Amino acid sequence: MAEPTAPAAAPPAAPAANGRAATKVRRVRQVRELGILLALVLLVAVTAAANPRFLTAQSVRDLLLGATVLTILAVGQTIVIITRNVDLSVGSVLGLSAFATGSLFVAFPDLPVLVAVAAGTALGAVCGALNGALVAAARVPALVVTLGTLYVFRGVDHSWASGAQINAADLPDAFLGLSTATVLGVPVLAFAALAVVLAAGWYLGSYRSGRELYAIGSEPAAALLSGIPVGRRVFAAFVVNGALAGLAGVIYAARFGTVDATAGTGLELQVVAAAVVGGVAIFGGSGTVYGAALGAALLTTIGTSLAVLRINPFWQQAVVGLLILAAIGLDRLLAVRTARRLRGGAPRGA
Amino acid sequence: MTIDRVRTGATAATALVLLLASAACGGTTRGDAEDQAAPQATGQADPNAEIPAGLSVAFLPKQLNNPYFTVADAGGEAAVTEYAGEYREVGPSEATASSQVSYINTLSQQQTDVIVTAANDPNAICGALNQARQAGATVVTFDSDTDPACRDLFVNQASAEGIAQTQIELISEQIGGEGQIAILSATPNATNQNAWIELMEAELERPEYEGIELVTVAYGNDDDQDSFQETQGLLQSYPDLAGIVSPTTVGIAAAARYLSGSEYRGEVALTGLGTPNQMREYVEDGTVEAFALWNPEDLGYLAAWAGAALSAGQITGAEGETFTAGRLGEYEVGANGEVVLGPPTVFDADNIDDFDF
B355 confidence band (pLDDT: 50, 70, 90):
confident
B290 confidence band (pLDDT: 50, 70, 90):
very high
Give chain A positions within 8 Å (CB) of B239.
Answer: 53
Give chain B positions within 8 Å (CB) of A304.
Answer: 229, 232-233
Q: Closest by alpha carbon to B250, among B215, B278, B281?
A: B278
> Are B225 and A66 a contacting pair at CB < 8 A?
yes
Residue B344 CA neighbour count, 13 Å, CB half: 27
pTM of the model: 0.78
Task: Look at residue B273 and tell me if it is in a domain.
Answer: yes
Q: A304 CB near a chain B CB, below 8 Å?
A: yes
> Are B253 and A162 a contacting pair at CB < 8 A?
no
> Are A62 and B254 a contacting pair at CB < 8 A?
no
Give chain A positions within 8 Å (CB) of B264.
Answer: 58
Task: Look at residue B29 and tell me if it is in a domain.
Answer: no
Question: Residue B118: is it exposed, middle or buried by C-beta count within 10 angstroms (0-12/13-18/19+)?
Answer: buried
Give chain A positions within 8 Å (CB) of B180.
Answer: none
- Window from A319-333, B77-91, B295-309 with minimum mean pLDDT: A319-333
Nearest to B281 among A58, A169, A303 (CB): A169
What domains are there in chain A, each with its CATH number?
A: 6-343 (1.10.3470)
Q: A257 CB near a chain B CB, below 8 Å?
A: yes
Q: B194 CB near a chain A CB, below 8 Å?
A: no
Q: Do both B51 and B196 map to the same domain?
A: no
Q: Do both B288 and B335 map to the same domain?
A: no
pLDDT of residue B34: 42
Q: Which DSSP helix (H) or strand (E) runs through A191?
A: helix A188-206
Pairs from A215-221 (Cβ < 8 Å, separation ≥ 24): A215/A285, A216/A82, A216/A83, A216/A84, A216/A284, A217/A81, A217/A82, A217/A83, A217/A84, A217/A283, A217/A284, A217/A285, A217/A286, A218/A284, A218/A285, A218/A286, A219/A285, A220/A84
pLDDT tens per residue across span B49-95: 888 889 999 999 888 767 788 888 999 999 999 999 999 999 887 77
Q: Do both B216 and B152 map to the same domain?
A: no
Q: Closest by alpha carbon to A246, among A350, A158, A62, A118?
A: A118
Task: Look at residue B288 and tell me if it is in a domain.
Answer: yes
- Mutant choice from B62, B94, B223, B236 vs A, greatest count of A C-beta within 10 A: B236
Nearest to B237 among A51, A179, A258 (CB): A51
- Window from B25-34, B190-199, B241-250, B262-271 with minimum mean pLDDT: B25-34
> Are A53 and B232 a contacting pair at CB < 8 A?
no
> Are B280 and A66 a contacting pair at CB < 8 A?
no
A25 confidence band (pLDDT: 50, 70, 90):
low
**Cα(A238)–Cα(A37) distance, rounded to whole angstroms?**
28
Give chain A positions within 8 Å (CB) of B224.
Answer: 252, 256, 258, 263
Task: Look at residue B349 and tell me if it is in a domain.
Answer: no
Nearest to A258 among B226, B239, B253 (CB): B253
> Are A163 and B257 a contacting pair at CB < 8 A?
no
- Window from A233-242, A295-304, B11-20, B304-313 with minimum mean pLDDT: B11-20
Q: Do both B166 and B287 map to the same domain?
A: yes
Q: Do both B9 and B143 map to the same domain?
A: yes
More confidently predicted of B42 and B271: B271
Q: What is the mean pLDDT of residues B325-343?
A: 90
Give chain B positions within 8 Å (CB) of A3.
Answer: none
Q: What is the mean pLDDT of residues A262-274?
A: 90
Nearest to A310 among B63, B216, B228 (CB): B216
Q: Do both B168 and B282 map to the same domain?
A: yes
Give chain A positions within 8 Å (CB) of B261.
Answer: 179-180
pLDDT of residue A12: 41
Q: A313 CB near a chain B CB, below 8 Å?
A: yes
Q: Cα distance from B224 to chain A (closest Cα, Å)?
A: 7
Q: B322 CB near a chain A CB, below 8 Å?
A: no
Q: Do both B150 and B51 map to the same domain?
A: yes
Q: Which DSSP helix (H) or strand (E) runs through A28?
A: helix A23-50
Size of interface A-B (CB pairs under 8 A): 96
Q: Do both B81 and B133 map to the same domain?
A: yes
Q: Within the 236-255 window of chain A, which residues sit less than 8 Å (CB to CB) from chain B?
A: 252, 255
Q: A105 CB near a chain B CB, below 8 Å?
A: no
Nearest to B236 among A51, A165, A257 (CB): A51
Q: Which residues pair with B322 in a beta bridge?
A: B332
pLDDT of residue A28: 53
Sign, CA torsion A177/A180/A186/A189: positive
Q: What is the mean pLDDT of residues A305-312?
A: 85
pLDDT of residue B26: 39
Q: What is the mean pLDDT of residues B178-192?
A: 89
Give chain A positions within 8 Å (CB) of B233.
Answer: 304, 306-308, 310
Q: B254 CB near a chain A CB, below 8 Å?
A: yes
Amino acid at A346: A
Q: Closest by alpha carbon to A101, among A317, A233, A244, A254?
A: A254
- Nearest C-alpha in A relative to B255: A256
Q: Cα distance from A13 to chain B (closest Cα, Å)?
A: 26
Domain that holds residue B184: 160-293
Q: A94 CB near a chain B CB, below 8 Å?
A: no
Q: Cα distance from A167 to chain B (closest Cα, Å)?
A: 5
Amino acid at A263: A
Q: B228 CB near a chain A CB, below 8 Å?
A: yes
Nearest to B281 among A54, A165, A257 (CB): A257
Q: What is the mean pLDDT of residues B234-250?
A: 93
Q: Cα distance from B228 to chain A (closest Cα, Å)?
A: 9
Indicate the angle between helix axes A90-107 and A113-136, nearest 10 degrees: 150
Q: Quick check: B233 pLDDT over 70?
A: yes
Q: Residues, chain B, total?
A: 357
Q: B214 CB near a chain A CB, below 8 Å?
A: no
A331 confidence band (pLDDT: 50, 70, 90):
low
Task: Look at residue B184 and tell me if it is in a domain.
Answer: yes
- Mutant choice from B249, B281, B283 vs A, greatest count of A C-beta within 10 A: B281
> Are A307 and B263 a contacting pair at CB < 8 A?
no
Q: Quick check: A18 pLDDT over 80?
A: no
Task: Look at residue B203 and tell me if it is in a domain.
Answer: yes
Domain of B90: which CATH number?
A: 3.40.50.2300
Strands (E), B15-132: 56-60, 86-89, 114-117
**Cα(B197)–Cα(B247) distance, rounded to whole angstroms?**
9
Nearest to A53 among B93, B94, B239 (CB): B239
The CA distances from residue A128 to A153, A205, A237, A271, A282, in Å, are: 11, 22, 9, 16, 19
Nearest to B277 among A169, A306, A314 (CB): A169
- Provide, rounded to the nearest whole percent, the portion of chain A with pLDDT above 90: 56
The number of folded domains in chain B is 2
pLDDT of residue B90: 92
Contact B108, B114 (CB under 8 A): no
Q: B286 CB near a chain A CB, below 8 Å?
A: no
Q: In whole angstroms, what separates CA B267 from the centre of its chain?
A: 33
Q: Do both B169 and B280 map to the same domain?
A: yes
Q: Do both B116 and B56 map to the same domain?
A: yes
pLDDT of residue A345: 57
Q: Do both B141 and B14 map to the same domain?
A: yes
**Cα(A217)–Cα(A144) distance, rounded to whole angstroms?**
18
Q: B65 CB near a chain A CB, below 8 Å?
A: yes
Ranked by mean pLDDT, the top range of A113-127, A174-188, A328-342, B175-189 is A113-127
Q: Do both B199 and B326 map to the same domain?
A: no
Q: What is the mean pLDDT of residues B128-137?
A: 92
Q: What is the mean pLDDT of residues B82-109?
A: 89
> Are B233 and A308 a contacting pair at CB < 8 A?
yes
Contact A67, A297 (CB under 8 A): yes
pLDDT tens per residue across span A309-321: 888 877 877 877 8
> Are B67 and A310 a contacting pair at CB < 8 A?
no
> Are A258 and B218 a contacting pair at CB < 8 A?
no
Task: Look at residue B119 and tell me if it is in a domain.
Answer: yes
Task: Look at residue B67 and tell me if it is in a domain.
Answer: yes
> Are B67 and A303 a contacting pair at CB < 8 A?
no
